[in-house]
Amino acid sequence: MAEASVSVDQLSVDHFICPVCLDLLKDPLAIPCGHSFCKVCINCFWDEEDQKKVYSCPQCRETFTPRPVLRRNNMLAEVVKKLKETELQAASPAHCYAGPGDVECDSCIGRKRKALKSCLVCLASYCEDHLQPHYQSQAFKKHELVEACAELQEKICSEHDKLMEIYCRTDQSFICFLCTMDKHKGHETVAAKTERTKKQNELKEEQMKSQQRIQEKQKKVQELKQTVDTIKLQQFR
């Protein structure tokens, strides 16, 4: 059978949004009433209905007994795939690819895309596409995701393999929460974010003071110039 040709010229992302997660369909499955959902979304939804043995459509509420056996909708999956590729190609590179100051995806080959999240278990950062296994697979269920951060290895405690999200004011160093129960027990500690905000405020205050001192010196220089000019005028009278 010849492969079906799919045109996405007139399609919109809105036509292929999962009613459960409100995101673009992933591994789409069509249930008997005709509505389609992400594989993970519909299975999780029906897992919660296992006790009553009656399974409903999250969109139209039609019920089914027994639980339907679902298969991947290959045609719909192909449409979604092509639609996503079209959207990515149309998007500005600034929104897709990593630029100066952005965190790069560790899994991208060739030109790197922007990373959305960093995994503290994998010690790697991922773009939207490569992040999906962390949301869809049970194997990654216990992995901890944080906002994408550069130089991830340097933010991990070498002793406990935990994120150094605490600042020890006693030793003036970044530590993990396990360090507070060990070598840094009893020390004055705060959240790294709190300390960073404090230091940023102190820096702004110092910059304002420096700017004020510069303005005062400039004013003093200007006054001296005016004095010199006045003396010169008096000498020629």
Could you tell me the CATH superfamily of domain 13-88?
Zinc/RING finger domain, C3HC4 (zinc finger) (3.30.40.10)
Q: What does the domain layout of the chain look like in residue ranges?
A: 13-88, 102-150, 155-236
Predicted confidence (pLDDT) per residue in 100-131, tens digit: 888 899 998 888 888 989 887 788 899 988 99
pLDDT category, 85, cuts 50, 70, 90? low
* For residues 27-56, average pLDDT: 88
More confident residue, 67 or 16: 67
* For residues 224-235, average pLDDT: 82
* For residues 65-80, average pLDDT: 84
Does the fold of domain 155-236 match that of domain 13-88? no
Class of domain 155-236 as given by CATH: alpha beta
pLDDT category, 6, cuts 50, 70, 90? very low
**pTM for this entry:** 0.38
Whether pLDDT at 7 is above 60: no
More confident residue, 71 or 105: 105
Whether pLDDT at 234 is above 60: yes
More confident residue, 128 or 84: 128
* For residues 39-60, average pLDDT: 88
> What is the SS3 assignment for the chain?
CCCCCCCCCCCCHHHHECCCCCCECCCEEECCCCCEEEHHHHHHHHHCCCCCCCEECCCCCCEECCCCCCCECHHHHHHHHHHHHHHHHHCCHHHHECCCCCCECCCCCCCCEECCEEECCCCEEECHHHHHHHHHCHHHCCCCEEECCCCHHHHECCCCCCECCEEECCCCEEECCCHHHCCCCCCCEEEHHHHHHHHHHHHHHHHHHHHHHHHHHHHHHHHHHHHHHHHHHHHCC
